[in-house]
Amino acid sequence: MKKLLLKSTFFCCLWTFLPLSGQERIPEVETLLGKMTLEEKIGQLNLLTPGGGVATGAVVSENVEANIKAGQVGGLFGVAGPEKVRLAQEMAVGHTRLKIPLLIGADVIHGYKTTYPIPLGVSSSWDMGLIEEAARMAAVEATADGIMWNFSPMVDIARDPRWGRIAEGAGEDPYLGSAIAQAMVKGYQGQDLKAPNTMLACVKHLALYGAAEAGRDYHSVDMSKIKMFNQYLPPYKAAIDAGVASVMSSFNDIDGVPASGNKWLLTTLLRDRWGFEGFAVSDYTSVNEMVAHGLGDLQAVSSLALKAGLDMDMVGEGFLTTLKKSVEEGKVSEEEITRACRRILEAKYIAGLFDDPYRYLDSDRPKKEILTKENRDLARKLATRSFVLLKNHNQLLPLKKDAKIALVGPLANSRNNMLGTWAPTGNPKWAVTVLEGFQNVAPTASVTHKKGANITDDVDFAKKVNVFGPRVQIDDRPSEVLLQEAVEAAKESDVVVAVVGEATEMSGEAASRTDISIPNSQKKLIRALVATGKPVALILMSGRPLTIPEEFNMPIALLQVWHPGVEAGNAIADVVFGDYNPSGKLTTTWPQNVGQIPIYHSIKNTGRPAPHEKFQK
């Protein structure tokens, strides 16, 4: 890493950002630290969310405004738009003694408002240039809305498709995962972090979160160092080598100690061995959650986290409410607090906030730079590159643009399920359905649409999946009626296109499944459609690999499209009608059944079962 060039005037710096190297310090930050009280330093370590916009962890911060004005907040997330961010920034800069600006963060996981495919889909493109370009676009849009810190890339290697968050990463392979981590960091951070359209990236979740036992979200992880270093750690390291500005600790244990309080992880590995110089933030209340791990009360776990090397506490306020007491009792030193505060102030400096706290707040930018035609075109292109043609019986695809088509299935006209998990800044209302895509791309085709089945008939499951909005809408009509309608439409058409699979929130955070097959309601539909003898193309949407041995053995075409994002319908139609020849390749293994999990391509050879050839003597 190259040297950071320094300048003496505090609120003005003309120099280009380059990450810190070695033990160099920024004089302006040191001067500021010299003026700060212990309370002011602790305030910088506190990250809050007023909610209202970003739906994530269960707790939402209270009294945010008063806390900012009292100098007790270092950063915020869940606030967006130049006007709102300006209000928040004014509270910090205008009301606090030292006028320290806030870092404004967000989860921009696969696009800001122009949502592109879920990361597992993006990884299937294997196109690093395009991935970097998409991350760049996301950064331009997010910064236009006042956000300069992104809780992405998520680089957790995942080899258990029961785990819902497999959707958020690049799959099972450390080499590919590392290349994608680097492309995304470059895309978000660009060449100059002070530019108003680049943002600080945050690699997450350090570490090993994707290896939660049995794919149960937030569960323990236990693995050998060999596996860790060879298969799970490389993508985090790659992001750090690419100059990522921050790191988020994970919820899970590593060698029996939760990541957020794990000194081996956050100091020995991250800083001493990998040379990371940015700041480390906890995951949402992960410091507090160490109480449940049995590591003591809030004061104890907060001091454990700080001493381990964690700098910022997301939402839990354990740092804010206990660290001063811990200093008074001699449990942590002021120097440890200064160290964490310094890293956060350095990030603010690097982002140019001390030059101009309002640099990301140009009210003209959102309408010019967000959800533009160019951005939607890029999302469409990336979606087409992410689709994987799993089979194409009798070369059924592509279809002719004047074909007579029965377009059926619960996802064929379902705007609410196009964006995929973790798209809190996107909006389903901007998404193109498959039906609309067919009409746009093949206006001369004759398309009859029928729902054919509910995504699931299980009312309790539907309730859980609908946590962020109506994803599964169980029809008033009996399922037999829905199915019959679709079969009739199929019989009257040349070809059937069935859009089936998972609703958006069937994968993602806290959305693990033990049964990863296509839900029964839809399996019945698929069987009935194939039984008509008409050629059938299945368009399969999901946030994870599914177990589909039955469907895979049917004489059908099978196109895996993940959750394709805001341009879903247009991109699917581009491929179905042959405007783009599908080129995506899987990045994670699809098991035949859950009993095979974990299953991945880079298994180690063993001596048994005996190979077909004779053993060499």
> Interface with ligand BGC by CB under 6 A: which residues?
56-57, 107, 151, 204, 283-284, 509
Name which of 244 and 518 has its Cβ closer to ligand BGC.
Answer: 244
Check if the beta carbon of residue 557 is closer than 8 Å to that of residue 397: yes
Check if the beta carbon of residue 307 is closer than 8 Å to that of residue 336: yes
Nearest CA to 238 among 193, 163, 182? 182
As measured in angstroms, the least distance from the Cβ of 316 to ligand BGC is 12
Name which of 289 and 457 has its Cβ closer to ligand BGC.
Answer: 289
Check if the beta carbon of residue 234 is closer than 8 Å to that of residue 178: yes
Nearest CA to 153 among 276, 228, 47, 248? 248
As measured in angstroms, the least distance from the Cβ of 92 to ligand BGC is 20
Contacts for 503 with CB less than 8 Å, ≥ 6 apart: 411, 417, 455, 456, 465, 471, 472
User: Token pair of 454, please?
Assistant: 């509910």
Name which of 163 and 590 has its Cβ closer to ligand BGC.
Answer: 163
DSSP strands (E only) in 322-453: 388-392, 404-408, 446-450
CA–CA separation, 201 vs 149, rounded Å? 6
First to last CA, the chain: 51
CB atoms within 10 A of CB 59: 15
Name which of 101 and 169 has its Cβ closer to ligand BGC.
Answer: 169
Q: What does the buried/exposed string (b/e) look like for 281-311 if buried means 16 or more CB atoms within 10 Å of the residue's CB?
A: bbbbbbbbbbbebebeebbbbbbbbbbbbbb
HEC letters along 315-332: CCCHHHHHHHHHHHCCCC
User: Token pair of 594, please?
Assistant: 């859950």
Name which of 421 and 589 has its Cβ closer to ligand BGC.
Answer: 421
As measured in angstroms, the least distance from the Cβ of 243 to ligand BGC is 20
Check if the beta carbon of residue 291 is closer than 8 Å to that of residue 298: yes
CB-based closest residue to ligand BGC: 56
HEC letters along 181-223: HHHHHHHHHCCCCCCCCCCEEEEEEECCHHHCHHHCCCCCCCC
Contacts for 492 with CB less than 8 Å, ≥ 6 apart: 404, 406, 448
DSSP state letters, 568-592: HHHHHHHHHTTSS------SS---S
CB atoms within 10 A of CB 429: 8
Check if the beta carbon of residue 479 is closer than 8 Å to that of residue 129: no
As measured in angstroms, the least distance from the Cβ of 347 to ligand BGC is 16
User: Token pair of 601, please?
Assistant: 């391509």
* Phi, psi dihedral angles at 390 (to 5 degrees): -75, -35
User: Token pair of 100, please?
Assistant: 């320290």
Name which of 96 and 250 has its Cβ closer to ligand BGC.
Answer: 250
As measured in angstroms, the least distance from the Cβ of 508 to ligand BGC is 10
Name which of 283 and 313 has its Cβ closer to ligand BGC.
Answer: 283
As measured in angstroms, the least distance from the Cβ of 96 to ligand BGC is 25
Strands 446-450 and 313-314: unpaired
If you ran DSSP here, which 8-state letter would residue 309 be given? Answer: T
Name which of 234 and 316 has its Cβ closer to ligand BGC.
Answer: 316
Residues in the chain: 617
Name which of 497 and 506 has its Cβ closer to ligand BGC.
Answer: 506
Contacts for 130 with CB less than 8 Å, ≥ 6 apart: 381, 382, 385
Per DSSP, the three-state class of 402 is coil
As measured in angstroms, the least distance from the Cβ of 49 to ligand BGC is 7
CA–CA separation, 387 vs 580, rounded Å? 10
As measured in angstroms, the least distance from the Cβ of 283 to ligand BGC is 5
Name which of 151 and 276 has its Cβ closer to ligand BGC.
Answer: 151
As measured in angstroms, the least distance from the Cβ of 568 to ligand BGC is 23
Active site residue 283: yes
Name which of 107 and 253 has its Cβ closer to ligand BGC.
Answer: 107
As measured in angstroms, the least distance from the Cβ of 170 to ligand BGC is 15
Q: Which of 107, 283, 311, 355 is catalytic?
A: 283
As measured in angstroms, the least distance from the Cβ of 286 to ligand BGC is 8
Enzyme catalytic residues: 283
